[in-house]
Structure 1
């Protein structure tokens, strides 16, 4: 049996505003306000010019947002502050629907808020919101008629900000706005300014590597949720710019109705974990997958602040396995080509994206399958593997072959302008150490401490001693090679003792490296090829 006993008051508490202040920073808050302006523009077909001006005054601790999106009707003024109230609907591909974002954003940013708006040529109205109203139980909020502002204009003034302002914070906010609205800013009818600085479009689909064997691919498909069709574009490939380790613009990028929701996602949920794409690391830092979704905002895979992906959304659950497979495939490709990135990735800056339409979403996964190149063993791993037994039996040789590894790595480092000079010192020093280790451990001769000390005070004595004990044996180094060893030794001495010296050329350095490898092969049977 069910008996009605009365009615409960289910109206929301104003604590709904303050409870989320910690969830919003200046970047997310500004975006919520820009979203409101853009939605009005989108609903009018983007045909009229829209200008959004954001003024951030560090000294006065003031933020002002002005737009000419059309203003708000008097009958709709309650939507400015009423949670859940909105003039938006799901019939347009807009970027705001919840009816709470802009309200939470302004409260998160400031203690005093003024809304001024004029719809078309109608009267101008103002609403004032402050902390006193927020602690009052009443939802009644007066609005005022004020002197006219420009037709179709809305002005939001935020004072007594809840956070300090500085130039670095403003620059980060500008970068965030430029990438979040990168595709919108391509439209000549839209201008967004911050402190009179016109924002530029920043997108992530214009720096692909077009290696003809591994061209970037874009699949257009669709996903239907509750009879609502979402159009989806998935673009995957290797980029010519990325990052390193956990940083940088690689990973997965999500756009909902052309608004960036998640930049360079490298989470477990999109495949960056062991057994899939692997942990975020430099060797996968050119992997890029861009997801663009268009359709009803209520089915978008964004969280309520549009600052990240809602992993429990129906859309994300639908694409999760396919997305992880795509990320894993291109991360594997990146890992295999990374050591030769200069020739196999960076060099291909022109080309076209392979585009295909597949309406049946389950077939999308197969479209991204690749014939991956064989795994290439790194040179340093190969050297270690070939010499590990010798290293165990003769531990004094480990430092010798690891020097060759170090020289190879330094040679590939484009940030070092004097790498040949560094490598000259490393190779010659390693040779001298190798000569000493050979005489002490492998020559079959006995040397006192004083004999070694005296001999190594004059490099010529060292060379002569090595020649004497190896003469007529497989370890003997040819006279031609001894002359080259002497040449590079003199070059090293010039580097140390003379005023003006030239670094060895790339050709000389490669020759000296091969000469050092040959000497170590002769003296210790080390392998480098």
Structure 2
């Protein structure tokens, strides 16, 4: 009997590292490292604490510093236990120990992020029991095809219960990474993204610092009181807790145009949240409920500005959630997510009807919107949970009913002209960005003033 012949199917390290990092952006790499830090600083919390318990992350800190030469991220979490570092944390493709509502995957996010950035990597951890450092020299490591391990250096026999945490330092930055870290545009975008995507953690007291500057959370409160009542629905599907909240953004006020087109479009739309981490923000296309995915609904229109909807998916097992490995996109094929879309659709329709009514009396709508109060999402959900029973698992959003009191006095004028002529008129008036409606009003007022008086 002849000796068996086998083919070598072992991975090439250069190819492996390139494949691992090719399709992830630098911004997402930084967020991956923040995710790991947040898991560490929040490991003592119970599910729901981030959303419902004030200051549940008070005194928790994540500090990020970078320039053209190096990148560091440090936290004051519980640190990594030595045995976890040996067995799981640095393994490719394995996740860390089970944790309540985790958002970080040490098995892919940590290595993908640090390999993306540079050639020299230092990970130092201090827990209550141990202190150690892992050093990775990427070029040397890739030249050893059969050895996939990383050396661990013990830094003293004991840990430091008063100074726990993890620090990651990356040096020898690749040219494109160095260029990005030296750009103020990247720094601004990173700060804005953190303020939005980690909104719920920041509201719970977490501090994130970028180059010495504290990141401020975005504004994601809703109007309440008077005739404004956010909608709330809670249910469980496939072992995942789901909460849906929709309503009018707290800073929205009706503009003097029917389309309310001056309200910040970066705020309005649907938000998808997995374990309190926003993975899709202010969505206005068919990734959520807008036309394309639901042919019986409408395309997004500036008239709908001011609407915000939030859908929360929460699970102790992150693999059950409808997100991708970058945590910046929704898994559109997820049956869990697809079954939620009709519910999101129903929670949007009342706002669409309200914006149609609002056209009838803009001044009245503006007055009502200015006098409403505001509430945080956590307060809204908690209030609903206290009232919830078997008969009322869902509260539909409601808004003021506006009936025209001006029908005898006001009419709309609509007509079409060539776009090029419209643009020339705007330029002549010294405001190329003015709306078509405002241009039409100025033209009418000019004619009326000069021809009628």
What is the rounded CA distance, in whole Å, between the counterparts of 2:276 and 2:351 in structure 1? Answer: 24
What is the rounded CA distance, in whole Å, between the counterparts of 1:170 and 1:272 in structure 2? Answer: 32
Residues 50, 209 of structure 1: alpha-carbon distance in 2 compared, 3 angstrom cutoff: closer
Do residues 216 (structure 1) and 230 (structure 2) align? yes
What is the rounded CA distance, in whole Å, between the counterparts of 2:355 and 2:145 in structure 1? Answer: 58
Q: Deviations 1:196-221 (Å, cap 9, x if unpaired)?
A: 222223241x1x344744522222x2
Deviation of 1:288 (Å)? 1.2
Structure 2: gaps (5+ residues)? 46-55, 253-260, 417-433
1:466-505 residue pairs with structure 2 within 5 A? none
Deviation of 1:16 (Å)? 4.1
**Alignment match, 1:183:** 200
**Alignment match, 1:130:** 138
Do residues 86 (structure 1) and 95 (structure 2) align? yes
SS in structure 2 of the partner of residue 19 of structure 1: helix
Residues 407, 154 of structure 1: alpha-carbon distance in 2 compared, 3 angstrom cutoff: closer
**Alignment match, 2:274:** 256
SS in structure 1 of the partner of residue 208 of structure 2: strand
SS in structure 2 of the partner of residue 55 of structure 1: strand
What is the rounded CA distance, in whole Å, between the counterparts of 2:335 and 2:127 in structure 1? Answer: 38
Deviation of 1:38 (Å)? 1.6
Q: Deviations 1:349-398 (Å, cap 9, x if unpaired)?
A: 3166683637799x75x945889768999x9984348xx9xxxxxxxxxx
What is the rounded CA distance, in whole Å, between the counterparts of 2:191 and 2:57 in structure 1? Answer: 25
**Alignment match, 2:339:** 318
Contact 1:254/1:260 (CA < 8 Å) preserved in 2? yes
SS in structure 2 of the partner of residue 233 of structure 1: strand
What is the rounded CA distance, in whole Å, between the counterparts of 1:111 and 1:335 in structure 2? Answer: 57
Deviation of 1:127 (Å)? 2.3
Do residues 70 (structure 1) and 78 (structure 2) align? yes
What is the rounded CA distance, in whole Å, between the counterparts of 2:291 and 2:285 in structure 1? Answer: 8
Residues 335, 157 of structure 1: alpha-carbon distance in 2 compared, 3 angstrom cutoff: farther
1:14-93 residue pairs with structure 2 within 5 A? 14=13, 15-45=15-45, 49-58=59-68, 60=69, 62-78=70-86, 79-89=88-98, 92-93=100-101
Contact 1:217/1:368 (CA < 8 Å) preserved in 2? yes
SS in structure 1 of the partner of residue 373 of structure 2: coil
Contact 1:86/1:97 (CA < 8 Å) preserved in 2? yes
**Alignment match, 2:413:** 383
Residues 359, 108 of structure 1: alpha-carbon distance in 2 compared, 3 angstrom cutoff: farther
**Alignment match, 2:185:** 168
Q: Deviations 1:171-197 (Å, cap 9, x if unpaired)?
A: 110111121221112234x32211122
Greater Rg, structure 1 or structure 2? 1
Give the structure, 1 or 2, with the largest relative contact order (CA under 8 Å, sep 6 or more).
2
Contact 2:231/2:398 (CA < 8 Å) preserved in 1? no
Residues 344, 409 of structure 1: alpha-carbon distance in 2 compared, 3 angstrom cutoff: same
SS in structure 2 of the partner of residue 66 of structure 1: strand
Task: Give 1 or 2: higher helix fraction.
Answer: 1
Deviation of 1:407 (Å)? 12
Residues 267, 372 of structure 1: alpha-carbon distance in 2 compared, 3 angstrom cutoff: farther
**Alignment match, 1:152:** 164
**Alignment match, 2:122:** 114
What is the rounded CA distance, in whole Å, between the counterparts of 1:117 and 1:98 in structure 2? Answer: 14
Structure 1: gaps (5+ residues)? 389-405, 414-418, 432-514, 517-529
What is the rounded CA distance, in whole Å, between the counterparts of 1:47 and 1:156 in structure 2? Answer: 21
Deviation of 1:64 (Å)? 0.4
Deviation of 1:65 (Å)? 0.7
**Alignment match, 1:283:** 303
Residues 144, 308 of structure 1: alpha-carbon distance in 2 compared, 3 angstrom cutoff: same
